[in-house]
Structure 1
Amino acid sequence: EFVREMVFAVSGGDGLTTILFMMFILLILGMFLDWVGVALLTMPIFVPIVTELGYSPIWFGVVFCMNMQVSFLSPPFGPAAFYLKTVTPKDITLGEIFRSLLPFIALQIVALALLIAFPQLALWWQ
């Protein structure tokens, strides 16, 4: 209840602003924690807020997964970059890998924005 009130207070209570605030929190947490940890920490708090705002929990799950994909590629940790570094030639630096991931991060952010702007994209089957 306390966290719910805090999220509404910080975001102004507007539905879209609240969702964007939650996405920002998920992105920051995802940069430092594994997605399972982020899900276990945030889903019990965020899903009731999302349903209270009138959004579909399935849509929020899809948006959550997209957000975790972005954070999986993003510095400072970006586990995907470290996995890729283990299979690349020795002359390719981690900095080059992170720079080459920027277009993919940008595309995923665009896809995330489209999913937030048009929830029907994730709920086409309903």
Structure 2
Amino acid sequence: MPLTLEVQFQTVLYSILSGILIGVLFDLYSMVRGIKVPKIIVIIEDILFWVLTAITVFTFLLYKNYAFLGPYVYVFMILTLIIYLKIISSKVRKIEMYIIEKVSWLFRITFKTLSYPLKIVYYNILGKK
């Protein structure tokens, strides 16, 4: 039974969104991945990243379009990923870096604020100033 036009449009839309999802995950991974790491560690990290990405995309497609994986789904995912990496990636990386900086700043301030009373108690017990 051929798919209706609406189902085909949704399948293409979700494959485009999957390509964007892969691009965002790749940007996050490239920011986290170490620079001076032994090659075997990099290979293992890459394999784990692509396995995680495949599971994430398959789950997304399973949830959205019952994992209908026709050839054009792969074509649109790859085309969208290439377009994303060439055009949008640099802008998204700046936004991701800004968010990471702000979240790390928030965690650092929260940790210092919560640990300050413990430091006071600790130094009062030991008698240090």
TM-score tier (shorter): 0.3 to 0.5
TM-score (norm 2): 0.37
Higher relative contact order (CA 8 A, sep 6+): 2
> Is the helix fraction higher in 1 or 2?
2
The structure having more radius of gyration, on CA atoms, is 2
TM-score (norm 1): 0.37
